[in-house]
Amino acid sequence: MSVIFLPATKESINHTYYKNPFDTPAQIIKGLYETESIKPNKKIKGIIVPHHLLASKNIATGIKMISPKTEHIILISPDHFNKCKNFVCIASGVFETYFGNIHTSSIAYNPLIDTNKDLFIKEHGIYTILPYIAYLNNNIKVTPLAVSVDKKWFSKREILVDIINKAITNDTVIVVSSDFSHYLSLDESNLKDQESIKLIKNNDPNKLLKLNNPDNTDCPICLYLVSKLSKIRNFDNILELLHTNSANILNVPQYKETTSHFVIIYTSK
């Protein structure tokens, strides 16, 4: 099973053209302007970035570390609004961004995967990341996957890993779009983040699958997938680059409900 690149056609543009959802590019450009210049020693094969636009700098820093010569990105997000009726939903078509249009690629049919046009109109776990990818290189083909966060994943996990693994080429990067602790105080959030980052670095997929949503992360299955694929594909050298919290970004440490973010890269050893 290999990646199927789907060029834009008249039909796909008429029926699966996703308009830019942002009112202004200001926050995206601010993040790109503030990007920390970090150059990895080896080519990135996997990365975790937030989709919380308040952490625009983190998103930009992470995505800009990916080689602009990359041909294919598999972008994995939680299905935030429970719109996917199956285990995974995929978008095919064209996404408009401030930096050009992103054309999607698909993967071969599997009964665990559905298409769902309406889901991706509002799925910020996908559309928040796409402008940064387009800024990097809007010729990169992107396979957007929204995974269900309420399905009983344990018995299906290996099947989905196999589906994605067969769609990976030598020039594919796995991008996981995930925020971390939600709705906790800064101190509580930091404790949960310590738990999460320890498990991520230990790279035990099944333990990651058991993380709490929303206390630890909004997508345990996303973290499971990148962990499992990193082992199969031998890109399991894991490095934490950035860790932030909305309370610190806004300089309001007394906030009772915060959101935290990591930028984590996966490379070969």
Do residues 216 and 184 make contact, with C-beta atoms less than 8 angstroms apart?
Answer: no
Q: What is the mean predicted confidence (pLDDT) over 197-206?
A: 98
Query: If pLDDT is split at 50, 70 and 90, which confidence band does 17 have?
Result: very high
pLDDT, residue 1, reads 32
Query: If pLDDT is split at 50, 70 and 90, which confidence band does 8 have?
Result: very low
- Encode pLDDT of 155-176 as tens digits: 999 999 999 999 999 999 999 9
The Cα–Cα gap between 157 and 228 comes to: 10
Q: What is the mean predicted confidence (pLDDT) over 80-86?
A: 95
Do residues 79 and 123 make contact, with C-beta atoms less than 8 angstroms apart?
Answer: yes
What would the two tokens of residue 163 be? 């589906």
pLDDT, residue 15, reads 54
The Cα–Cα gap between 36 and 76 comes to: 24
Q: How far is CA 69 from the centre of its chain?
A: 19
**153: pLDDT strictly greater than 70:** yes
Token pair 């509580």: residue = 188
The Cα–Cα gap between 90 and 111 comes to: 12
Q: Are strands 17-18 and 4-5 parallel, antiparallel or unpaired?
A: unpaired
- Encode pLDDT of 88-111 as tens digits: 999 989 999 999 999 999 888 899
- Encode pLDDT of 21-70 as tens digits: 999 999 999 999 999 778 888 899 999 999 999 999 999 999 999 999 99
pLDDT, residue 95, reads 97
The Cα–Cα gap between 95 and 76 comes to: 16
